[in-house]
Structure 1
Amino acid sequence: MIRHLVLFKLNDGVGKDDERAVAGAEAFAKLGSVIPELREWECGWNTTVRDIAYDFAINSLVDDRETLAAYLNHPAHQAAAGQWREFATWVIADIEV
């Protein structure tokens, strides 16, 4: 199994109430019910306000590298990630569990 973690940092001048960020969060929230390769799906806004904190997070679980690739290439994921490219940057970690 692979735990896929993503942390998003909004670009300067973009708040979580920005319409692009709201739409991006809604797009990611839907993925758990749309992409069958996902065994677990959690995402949401960070509640901690600190200089080093990221703004939004995804925590998901897939069976293996092949299902991770299927998730990453899924059209719904591609569309959601494409929205975030306009207003945020991110880091990922894929951990074998």
Structure 2
Amino acid sequence: MIRHLVLFKLNEGVSRDEERVVAGARGFAELGAQVPEVVSWECGWNVTDRPIAYDFAINSSVADTGALTRYLEHPAHQAAVAPWSEFATWVIADYEI
């Protein structure tokens, strides 16, 4: 099993209540159910306000590295992640569980 963890940091001057950000979060909320390879899916806004904290997180799992590749290449994933490049940066970690 592979855990796919993604942390998003909104760009300077971008707030989570902007329409494009709200739409982006909604896209991720719906994504897990759209990709057959996803075994588990959680996402949401950070509830703490610390200088080192990221703003939004995705915590998901897939069966193996092949499933991870299919998830990353899936059109629904591509559509959900595309808008985020306009208003955020992110880091990822993919590890075995």
Could you state the TM-score of these two structures normalised by the residue count of structure 1? Answer: 0.98
- Where in structure 1 are there 5+ consecutive unaligned residues? none
**Aligned partners of 1:4 and 1:33: how far apart in 2?**
15
> Which residues of 2 match residues 13-32 of structure 1 at below 5 A?
13-32=13-32
Correspondence for 1:62: 62
What do residues 50-83 of structure 1 show as CA deviations (whole Å, max 9, x unaligned)?
A: 1000000000000000000000000010011101
Write the deviation string for residues 13-70 of structure 1: whole angstroms up to 9, x where unpaired: 0011011110000000001111110000000000010100000000000000000000
Instruction: Give SS of 1:48's match.
Output: coil
**Structure 2 CA distance, aligned partners of 1:69 and 1:77?**
11
Aligned-residue identity in percent: 68
Q: Where does the alignment leave 5 or more consecutive residues of structure 2 unmatched?
A: none
1:40 and 2:49 are equivalent in the alignment: no
Root mean square deviation, CA, Å = 0.5
After TM superposition, which residue ranges in structure 1, 4 or more long, deviate above 3 angstroms?
none
In structure 1, the residue corresponding to 2:92 is in which secondary structure? strand
Calculate the TM-score normalised by the size of structure 2.
Answer: 0.98
Q: Give the total of aligned pairs.
A: 97
The one-letter code matched in structure 1 to 2:74 is H
